[in-house]
Structure 1
Amino acid sequence: MSEGHTGVTAATPAEPIVSCAEECGVRDVQDRLGDRWTVHVVVELAAGPRRFKELQRLVDGVSQRMLTFTLRRLERDGLVRREVFPTTPPQVEYSLTATGHSMTHLIKQLVDWSLDHRAAITRSREEWDARHPA
């Protein structure tokens, strides 16, 4: 290379696009997004505050116990706000925090990616299954 060369060297395909050399917290986020109900709950709360029973109706298939557990984890992580109204019986409303709302952009990208690649993934699965009969 000549003195004063300022050319850009292209990255080789072997270099990772994303890396997390030190503890970067990705495991915590992955655990949260990877559980069965978090994405469904966040999507429903993105539309606005919801009461518990309303959320339970909207998140198809979730049990009362699992919804409670999921909401508590999201609240602990600062993604969901729980507000109790002083009525008889007490009414509880859940909403996304600013951090929770920021996560909806990631979920939208994941949904968009899934829609864009659904046919190719289905085709790949069918081809693989044909080559590897059970």
Structure 2
Amino acid sequence: MYRAQLPLSLVEVALGAVLILGVALGFALGTPAPETRAPQLEAYAADTATILANEPPRHDGATRLREVVASERAFERERDALERRVARILPENVLFHVETPHGSVGTPVPRRFTTGTATVPTGFGTVRIEVWYA
């Protein structure tokens, strides 16, 4: 009579141990972390666009971006300053590409990288800012 109960108890203990180990492994290994790079990159791009769109111009124009896109001559004059300014705005581990109607500055956008993008309409055209981790 007691012999029939012993194997059933062992089976219950074994199943309980497997269940506990499974739950413990679930907590230990967890689930994969959600992709957090894209939202952060979008924030970097939007912040950069906001700063440039509200920053006073170096020479003439309503804002820094309007000054840069006012003409091809203005873009050529401001190209290096724009590139240095964007590099100072972003963290060191973030690369960028700024495209204007008259040209672009920064590093060409690589394929298969997660990027963040912001576009800013100006009176002279749209400026597109794209950022990604180095």
Q: Which TM-score band applies after superposition, normalised by the shorter structure?
A: under 0.3
Task: Give the structure with the higher percent strand.
Answer: 2
| TM-score, normalised with respect to structure 1 | 0.27
The higher-RCO structure (CA 8 Å, 6+ apart) is 2
Structure with higher Rg: it is 2
TM-score (norm 2): 0.27
